[in-house]
A and B are shown apart, each in its own frame.
Chain A
């Protein structure tokens, strides 16, 4: 079936005229029809528009136009990325009816490349969560075991990619929201260097940490999508001035002499034995290919989670203040005056996790506590970043688990925020230090659920990450396996 193939293969088939974009889109839409009732990855399916986009690509190709590699390839979008005229809910009651009047920069780039958008994907509300259970819209199930969570917050993206309900997807990652669900669902997910992908049109959770990134079933596919979305955007002041290579040509260089650091601090932290074992085996496999493995130390790792929750919540409390029932989204009925409008709309529109973080963020910024918490968090951030910088003097990449454990069962951790937060423990440091990191599958646990290996590099080292990840992918005979659903 076409939906099972990789974007790289499909792109070549489209270019050779062996298949049409409409056929491919129909295949993906058919798969959504077939399995999304069980998986629940999509908030909005845009079947009609997707077919129109596909037909447009086909007719351009028929005219002999040379098209970008992504032309005709279905790319589904996390529901916190603005799509003009198409519902963008952040999986929140607060934005249940929000249709943005503009496109995010990444959407403009995908449109220019001729990508097809099958729909918008479920997530934890406003990207806050690690299981997708904080969605106010629906539950998403892990395609490998429907009784388990897909991870989060880009759980819909991971589940859609893993189940074949899309070829590629965009997620966003503030503390692990691309990598952790990628790990849970056995796919490839890249959290790019901060500033490499425009945030214009990404509904902000924590502006200084958020980054959009590609999710795919193969490393090459992730590179293909990343090629299209990275680059300077004048509409995002935090967007970096940097020249990017063609990442699809950065793979296949081998790992001989590659210095891989293994930080011991990432193997305590509640990391299960099976996860530790799978990750170390993957590292050993790379060692066997000529990589040099070094034990390193990142001593402030356990402080990172605290710094992360302080900084991200502080920014979120401000970023989410604009949702007040006035300009867009949910407005409470039966209100008595302006303050009541604000308080009722916000209290009824936001879920508990979002409120909890807004409260925490408001507190750490409030008078008398700013220095003790927010400022301290920023000092910790600098410390963590400088420890990474020091570590990268002695190694090229760092290997860790992505998630300390495999996907847990739906409902298992809902009432325990601290336990839920622990799922982010291996990933938040990367955002805190503005680094790129990738999660790739490295085996399964006793429960049959996927385990993820996280590779972390210095800023703008995505080419090295793709190369190492692709090498491991070929060692294990490829990742692209869609599980039977149900």
Chain B
């Protein structure tokens, strides 16, 4: 079994997480252990299409029901609000 090398910094960047080297190393070790469980499993036949037509989804009729939740309630948890909007650091586009 080939040892999988996890590029922990790349994964952290994708996940928008920051960590120091010590923690990164610890995570890499622990993650390698867990995926090692998968790598050590015998090959199983089959494919996962992600489709299960035997259990179809009920779709919603196209009807408007205006939410009872007000804008103030929607924004009430936001750390920074101005002019009815959530504020984020300025983005240069």
Q: Which A residues contact B (CB, under 8 angstroms)?
A: 97-99, 101-102, 234, 237, 241, 300, 303, 305-307, 309-310, 317, 321, 324-329, 331, 335-344, 346-347, 350, 352, 355-356, 358-360, 362-364, 366, 369, 372-373, 375-383, 417-418, 421
Chain A CB within 8 A of B66 CB: no
A114 to chain B minimum Cβ distance, whole angstroms, is: 21
A5 to chain B minimum Cβ distance, whole angstroms, is: 37
What size tier do the contact residues of chain B reach? 35 or more
Closest to A337 in B: B89
B77 touches A346 (CB 8 A): no
Q: Of the candidates B23, B41, B73, B86, which one forms a contact with A326 in the assembled complex, judged by CB atoms under 8 Å apart?
A: B86
B89 touches A329 (CB 8 A): no
8 Å CB contacts to A: which residues of B11-51? Answer: 11-12, 14-19, 23, 27, 30-31, 33-35, 37-38, 41, 44, 46-48, 50
B31 touches A360 (CB 8 A): yes
B34 touches A338 (CB 8 A): no
Q: Given A359-B8, A360-B34, A339–B16 Cβ distance below 8 Å?
A: yes
List of A residues within 8 angstroms of B74 by Cβ? 101
Q: Of the candidates B31, B33, B48, which one forms a contact with A378 in the assembled complex, judged by CB atoms under 8 Å apart?
A: B48
Closest to A421 in B: B34
List of A residues within 8 angstroms of B41 by Cβ? 303, 306, 376, 380
Chain A CB within 8 A of B79 CB: yes
List of B residues within 8 angstroms of A303 by Cβ? 41, 44
B79 touches A383 (CB 8 A): no
Closest to A237 in B: B57
List of B residues within 8 angstroms of A344 by Cβ? 18
List of B residues within 8 angstroms of A329 by Cβ? 77, 79
List of B residues within 8 angstroms of A325 by Cβ? 79
B6 touches A363 (CB 8 A): yes
Q: Of the candidates B33, B44, B69, which one forms a contact with A380 in the assembled complex, judged by CB atoms under 8 Å apart?
A: B44
List of B residues within 8 angstroms of A326 by Cβ? 78-79, 86, 88
Q: Of the candidates B4, B33, B48, B78, which one forms a contact with A379 in the assembled complex, judged by CB atoms under 8 Å apart?
A: B48
User: What secondary structure prevails in chain A residues at the interface with B?
Assistant: helix
List of A residues within 8 angstroms of B18 by Cβ? 343-344, 346-347
Closest to B77 in A: A328
List of B residues within 8 angstroms of A373 by Cβ? 35, 38
The contact sample of 5 A-B pairs, CB cut-off 8 A, is A326-B88, A329-B77, A339-B16, A350-B17, A417-B30
Q: Of the candidates B17, B34, B50, B89, which one forms a contact with A358 in the assembled complex, judged by CB atoms under 8 Å apart?
A: B17
Q: Which B residues contact A (CB, under 8 angstroms)?
A: 4, 6, 8, 10-12, 14-19, 23, 27, 30-31, 33-35, 37-38, 41, 44, 46-48, 50, 57-58, 60, 69, 73-74, 76-80, 86, 88-89, 91
List of B residues within 8 angstroms of A379 by Cβ? 44, 46-48
A359 touches B27 (CB 8 A): yes
List of A residues within 8 angstroms of B6 by Cβ? 363
A98 touches B77 (CB 8 A): yes
- In the bound complex, CA of A227 to CA of B10 (Å): 47
Q: Of the candidates A101, A300, A376, which one forms a contact with B76 in the assembled complex, judged by CB atoms under 8 Å apart?
A: A101
New A-B pairs, 16, CB < 8 Å, besides A99-B76, A352-B23, A421-B34? A234-B58, A237-B57, A306-B38, A307-B38, A321-B16, A326-B88, A355-B17, A360-B31, A360-B35, A366-B10, A373-B35, A378-B48, A379-B46, A379-B48, A381-B48, A418-B34
List of A residues within 8 angstroms of B11 by Cβ? 359, 362-363, 366
A356 touches B14 (CB 8 A): no
List of B residues within 8 angstroms of A376 by Cβ? 38, 41, 44
- In the bound complex, CA of A46 to CA of B46 (Å): 51
List of A residues within 8 angstroms of B50 by Cβ? 378
Closest to A340 in B: B89
List of A residues within 8 angstroms of B60 by Cβ? 234
- In the bound complex, CA of A362 to CA of B4 (Å): 15
List of B residues within 8 angstroms of A421 by Cβ? 34
A129 to chain B minimum Cβ distance, whole angstroms, is: 14
List of A residues within 8 angstroms of B79 by Cβ? 325-326, 328-329, 331
B69 touches A359 (CB 8 A): no
B48 touches A364 (CB 8 A): no
A389 to chain B minimum Cβ distance, whole angstroms, is: 12
- In the bound complex, CA of A364 to CA of B6 (Å): 10
B78 touches A356 (CB 8 A): no
A199 to chain B minimum Cβ distance, whole angstroms, is: 14
B86 touches A355 (CB 8 A): no
List of B residues within 8 angstroms of A369 by Cβ? 4
A470 to chain B minimum Cβ distance, whole angstroms, is: 30
- In the bound complex, CA of A234 to CA of B69 (Å): 18
List of B residues within 8 angstroms of A98 by Cβ? 77
List of B residues within 8 angstroms of A417 by Cβ? 30
- In the complex, the 8 A-B pairs of residues with the closest C-beta atoms, listed nearest first: A378-B48, A328-B77, A101-B73, A331-B79, A306-B37, A342-B16, A362-B15, A347-B18
